[in-house]
Amino acid sequence: MIKINTRDFGETEVNESAVFSFPNGVFAFEDDRNFALLSPLGDDTYPMWLQSMDHQELCFIVFDPSLIDDKYQVSLNPGEKRILNLKDGDEIRCLAIAKVPEDFRQTTVNMKSPIVINPETNTALQVILPLDYPFRHPIYESGEVE
């Protein structure tokens, strides 16, 4: 376990397996290369927080896009696979960054540019998918909370 300072939870401990290296950073935050995935609601319970380990104030709320769209598909080009050290058939994990406004019922997620993780190496990369996914996909239908 390692201790990190977080934007929303103060100092907290995270398992090293929840720390991911982003060789290219995250879009618009290319200098931040190390993030920890926090699960304050319990393991694999969404939403989760993707906390920069380089800058405490940088933190994203993330969801598994396949929970929002069960037909969600990710296709990676050879360069992206090389950065992630993936071979055909390797498992990946995806996260979609959320935008949570004051009225949380208006929350959207970026389905077009997911974060793709190689769980074997804990290497991550944000990509832009060639498929027709929206940058702002609502997670609540008609603003209603389930």
Q: Where are the domains of the chain?
A: 2-143
Q: Under DSSP, is residue 4 helix (H, G, I), strand (E, B) or coil?
A: strand
Q: Cβ(133)–Cβ(112) under 8 Å?
A: yes
pLDDT in tens for each of the 146 residues of the chain? 899 999 999 999 999 999 999 999 899 998 899 999 998 887 778 899 999 998 999 999 999 999 999 999 999 999 999 999 998 889 999 999 999 999 989 999 999 999 999 999 999 999 999 888 999 999 887 544 44
Fold designation for 2-143: BH3618-like (2.30.290)
Q: Cβ(113)–Cβ(129) under 8 Å?
A: yes
pTM of the full predicted structure? 0.88
- Copy the structure tokens of residue 5: 């300072």
- Copy the structure tokens of residue 66: 């396949």
For the CA atoms of 62, 66, 68, 70, the dihedral, rounded to the nearest 10 degrees, stands at 180
